[in-house]
Copies of this chain bind each other. A is one copy, B any other.
Amino acid sequence: MDIYLQAAIAEARKGLEEGGIPIGSVLVIDGEIVGRGRNRRVQKGSAILHAEMDCLENAGRLSAAEYRRATLYSTLSPCDMCSGAILLYGIPRVVAGENRTFHGPETYLRSRNVELLVLDDPECAALMKDFIAAHPALWNEDIGV
């Protein structure tokens, strides 16, 4: 399996162990993981720390030139907020583990020239399917429903 998706899944599993929502993300530049993150709504009482946002925050302040060489991995199809962050920074490539359990604005991302690959990974989908079944209210809160 893709080593970067594997690193994102490791973040998702860490989140699950902490009692959080199991979504993980890594930012890769020139083959190197420069940031890792996981959804921390529960852990930090946060409304903005989706996995991809936490990952971008942990990667620190980067230049536009760095973002333009980056690929953002997420175990799940990025939501409106995280897609917006991808657009703000001009991150050209996104790899999502799956989009069966949640479907972000993929068409819009592509219309703004982001290359988006959805891997349909069964491990990512199983993590979310089990979590949503066990914690539907928390999941709805996380996606503004």
Contacts and interface: CB of A to CB of B under 8 A. Distances in A.
Interface in A60-98: 60-64, 67, 79-85, 87-90
Nearest to A58: B47
A89 B45 contact: no
Interface of A: 41, 45-48, 53, 56-57, 59-64, 67, 79-85, 87-90, 105, 108, 140-141, 143-145
A68 to B, nearest CB: 9
Contacts of A82: 84
A139 to B, nearest CB: 12
B62 A57 contact: no
How many copies the complex holds: the figure is 2
A45 B61 contact: yes
A76 to B, nearest CB: 13
Given A63-B141, A64-B145, 11 more contacts: A45-B61, A46-B61, A47-B57, A47-B61, A48-B56, A48-B57, A61-B141, A64-B140, A79-B88, A80-B84, A81-B81
Contacts of A60: 45, 47
A69 to B, nearest CB: 13
Contacts of A105: 87
A59 to B, nearest CB: 7
6 contacts: A41-B61, A61-B141, A64-B144, A84-B84, A84-B85, A90-B144
